[in-house]
Amino acid sequence: MNFITSLALIAVAYAILYVIALLFVDCDLRLAWAEKFGKPTDCLAGKVVWITGASSGIGEHISLALARAGVKLVLSARRAYELERVRQSCLKVGKNLKEKDILVLPMDVLEVEKHKAYFQQVIDHFGHLDVLVNNAGRSQRAIWEEIELAVDKEMFNLNVFSVLSLSRIAVQHFMKQNEGHIVVTSSLAGVMAAPYSASYIGAKHAIHGYFDALRLEKMMHNITVTLLCPGPVFSNILADSFTGRPKEKFGKPMEITDRRMSTERCGHLCAVAIANKLDEAWMALPPIIFMVHFLICYPNVASLVTRFLGPKFFVKMRDTKVRMEIKSD
């Protein structure tokens, strides 16, 4: 057997093992490797991490996962009483954390004119910031042509422009201290489109464009950019989702029988991705990760597959048993 043949067999074997692994893991393989063999979340102990949208869902469980690692936290969201609840939970599970190590900073991320003042409060309390986790945001359920333009503007104000505003302030701080880490909770919807969430999909794709560009610009400045991309996860995001009309919420809760990743597991994987400074981290129950890989890597085949499966299939993959009042083709 010559060298070329041996190399080809190794490549084929690797490809087969790669595909098989994707069928069983609940995250991309780089994240799975980092969880088993990478840096433990404890490597972040003593770091100062600011998390927006920390009062519930993924943000709450990222906070808890980081508290267990001994991370000093700034917890932000609009509901001060919920932030205090999360703070107390973090203190209970926290590794060597004292009261002063967790700052509750209520804020509405839409008030971008106050971002510099909020940022200064963090610096006044801790003296510096190591990681900013932009987690605040909302999803959407609506039919494409029925979405009012005002909803697109609301979506981008919350899921894009508020994130850019706070991140630019943080990056200026990181440039001065010659180190820093920007984290943004995106979605698998920012990697691959899904039906009936056009404004949300557009916003998440915009996030990837902005922060991929930031990563390229600052790769020589010791500034890390991580995009967290969860698939379906248990949270209150569905009930609070935008619709096609301004100021309206979707209002339908998830069911306990839905097939979604737990927020605890998602929060842990997000913490692993942050600790290992991954560029991008995908997480969802199998076989979603495999499907996303396949549909992105083989776009011509993907076009045929998606036409065959139709939008109903992708709605069920994302929302399982949620009864959606959407006109299906």
Tens digits of per-residue pLDDT, 202-219? Answer: 999 999 999 999 999 999
Res 297: pLDDT? 87
Largest CA distance in the chain: 69
Q: Which long-range contacts (CB under 8 A, 24 or more apart) does 99-104 make?
A: 101/72, 101/73, 102/67, 102/72, 102/73, 102/74, 102/75, 103/73, 103/74, 103/75, 104/75, 104/80
What SS3 class is residue 280?
A: strand
Looking at residue 105, its pLDDT comes to: 98
- Alpha helix segments (H runs only) across 52-197: 57-68, 80-93, 115-126, 149-156, 162-177
Decide if domain 23-319 falls under CATH 3.40.50.720.
yes
Query: Which value, to the nearest 10 degrees, does the dihedral of the CA atoms of residues 41, 42, 46, 50 take?
Result: 20
Q: List, edge to edge, every strand of the sheet that includes 102-104.
A: 102-104, 72-76, 48-52, 131-134, 180-185, 223-230, 280-283
Q: Apex CA 29: angle with CA 26 and CA 34, to 5°?
A: 100
Cα 126 from chain centroid?
Answer: 25
- pLDDT, position 328: 43
Pairwise CA distance, residues 232 & 137, whole Å: 15
Q: Which 3 state secondary structure label does DSSP give 175?
A: helix
- Supply the residues annotated as catalytic: 200
What is the pLDDT, as a whole number, of residue 60? Answer: 98
Rounded Cα–Cα distance for residues 329 and 327 (Å): 7
The amino acid at 91: L
pLDDT for 156: 98
**Hey, what are 303's tokens?**
């076009």
Give CA–CA dist 102/74, Å, rounded.
6
DSSP E strands: which ranges in the chain? 48-52, 72-76, 102-104, 131-134, 180-185, 223-230, 280-283
- Residues in the chain with pLDDT < 50? 326-329
Strand partners, 72: 48
Instruction: Give the pLDDT confidence of 138-147 residue by residue, as tens digits.
Output: 999 999 999 9
**Distances in whole angstroms, Cα of residue 81 to Cα of each of 8, 57, 72, 264:** 60, 15, 20, 21
